[in-house]
Amino acid sequence: MVNLLDFDVEGLTAWFAERGEKPFRAHQLSRWMHRFGVDDFGQMTDVAKTLRARLAAEAEIRGPQPLRDSIAADGTRKWLLDVGNGNAVETVFIPEANRGTLCISSQVGCALECSFCSTGKQGFNRNLSTAEIIGQLWHANRVLGAVKQPGVDDSGERVISNVVLMGMGEPLANLDNVSAALRLMLDDHAYGLSRRRVTVSTAGLVPAIDRLRDSVPVALAVSLHAPNNALRDELVPINRKYPLAELMAACRRYLEKAPRDFITFEYVLLAGINDSDADAHALLQLTRTVPCKFNLIPFNPFPGSDYRRPSAERVRRFQEILMNADVVATVRKTRGDGIDAACGQLAGQVQDRTRRSAKSAGAPLSGTRTIIPIAQEVHA
């Protein structure tokens, strides 16, 4: 039975056309599924009864099933969501005074093997489907009471105002399904989010950055983590295929269509590895031709990692060097670490097809890209 959460509006229009239905049916169903959070065709009161019966026979609206729901002392909430065959992914909601951010996953595990993310301990299993990606937003809206009511003005403040694809996995390695989910996030018949408030994070898949620019340009965050190729080759192995010069060029191209006039560079600070004054100056030189801002993330430790978090003074000094060069640099305040929902701590449950988890057991982590949910930014 087909899961209608797998379709963006264009796909749903085509599905209805195959059944002799007019295009407006796709808009109707999108509103009921996504805006109103309905999973029962019988509740869709402006849809003809005969069509409702046909839909119930041929299709379903099936969101992810939660295995665990954890809430941290700071209000951060994390769901472990079942995606079948012993696999589960994590989704995190981060409430703040002026916004609510949902961090969602795009893969079960990740195959990019960055060296300081807990997801990497579990290896990689598969890409998430469109339904499994958008289903995380669908589920969070329902649980948080953020769904709209038919016939009621929905122009008020949103519970989930921002979505970031910074959870488990590399979004651009699953671009087709991610793009369909992005189109639903932006569609006024679904979630109606602004392009500026939807962010995709990548470790640097250059061809996919260009494809995203041409198909669904949203805000872009790049997991940088090193100011030179030698160090980045070690920390972010995809750099060996797409080195920094190519990545910076792709960032400049992306800005031609991006909804924001800057790229966000994410930079996890690792004590004694990439956090020196020299590293900060090299970082400025590297990014001098790319309008950007920096999110500095002091490393969040997890079992099996040999990396350490820098001192607060070292973080402050690194930030100061960037800001003295008139570059915006924020430091993320750790959120949700009490429930392992902070930057770099998402792991979920992965039936590893790569056998990397077994190979790395008891050894220094050689895992996946950095998983960086948006957290509160602290300006100096």
Catalytic residues: 90, 343
Helix and strand element counts for the chain (H, E): 11, 15
The residue whose two tokens read 């795009």 is 106
Compute the C-alpha angle 376/378/380, nearest 5°.
Answer: 170
How many Å apart are CA 147 and CA 138, to the nearest integer? 9
With H, G, I as helix, E, B as strand and everything else as coil, classify residue 70: strand
How many Å apart are CA 4 and CA 30, to the nearest integer? 9
When computed from its CA atoms, the radius of gyration of the chain, rounded to whole angstroms, is 21
With H, G, I as helix, E, B as strand and everything else as coil, classify residue 64: coil
Are residues 104 and 167 in contact, defined by beta-carbon separation less than 8 angstroms? yes
Using alpha carbons, list the distances in angstroms from residue 234 to 203, 229, 242: 13, 9, 13
Are residues 40 and 152 in contact, defined by beta-carbon separation less than 8 angstroms? no
Are residues 270 and 299 in contact, defined by beta-carbon separation less than 8 angstroms? yes
